[in-house]
Amino acid sequence: MNTRDETQAAAPEARDPETALALRAWIALARAHNAVAQVAAADVARHGLTTAEFAVVEVLYHKGPMLLNEVQRRILVSSGGITYLVDRLEKRGLVERRDCPGDRRARLAALTVEGQALVASIFPEHAAMIRRALAGLNDEEKETAIRLLRTIQKTGDALAADG
């Protein structure tokens, strides 16, 4: 049996045209994400940050001090992951934990003066890099992509909630 026959035998559901199209769409989406993610990662790495660390400081820069679980929800990491990231950023002097005025048990994450200055200095270049990475689409295509990707997200969220 040749490699093609083995692949077809291992995945007979892919012969269904609707499933095959969904798989092709998933591969295209994953490859596009990876391509842009590599550009973003290389850009923030120039400043000694991982993409996850940059996500934390970027959301705090744009939204202000936030509860740790809110930061976690916005940047899509685990609860242990957000603690690790904030610990690392705190050690670097970029983020600090603060008491939450309305809840003594809760803690806020906030940028320090140094963190604020860092993000203010690198965000415009980073945004321009992302703009260049998406330059293959015109404005109308970007709006369409946003709408379509949000539809995919809603479907995925609903499937995940159903367990």
- The rounded mean pLDDT for the chain is 90
Asked whether residue 1 carries a pLDDT value surpassing 80, the answer given is no
Least confident segment among 39-43, 89-93, 157-161: 157-161
* CA 117 from centre of chain: 22
Sign of torsion, CA 91 96 99 102? Answer: negative
Instruction: Report which of 15, 116, 94, 16 is spatially closest to residue 50, judged by C-alpha positions.
Output: 94
Please state which CATH number belongs to domain 32-137. 1.10.10.10
Whether pLDDT at 7 is above 50: no
Domain definitions of the chain by residue range:
32-137
C-alpha 143/C-alpha 153 separation (Å) is 15
The set of residues, in sequence order, having a beta carbon less than 8 Å from that of 107 and lying 6+ positions away, is 67, 68, 97, 98, 99, 100
Distance separating alpha carbons of residues 38 and 129, to the nearest angstrom: 11
Return the H-helix or E-strand segment holding 24: helix 17-45
Which is higher by pLDDT, 26 or 79? Answer: 26
Please say if the pLDDT value at position 58 is more than 70: yes
Q: What is the pLDDT of residues 112-148, one digit of tens each?
A: 999 999 999 999 999 999 999 999 999 999 999 999 9
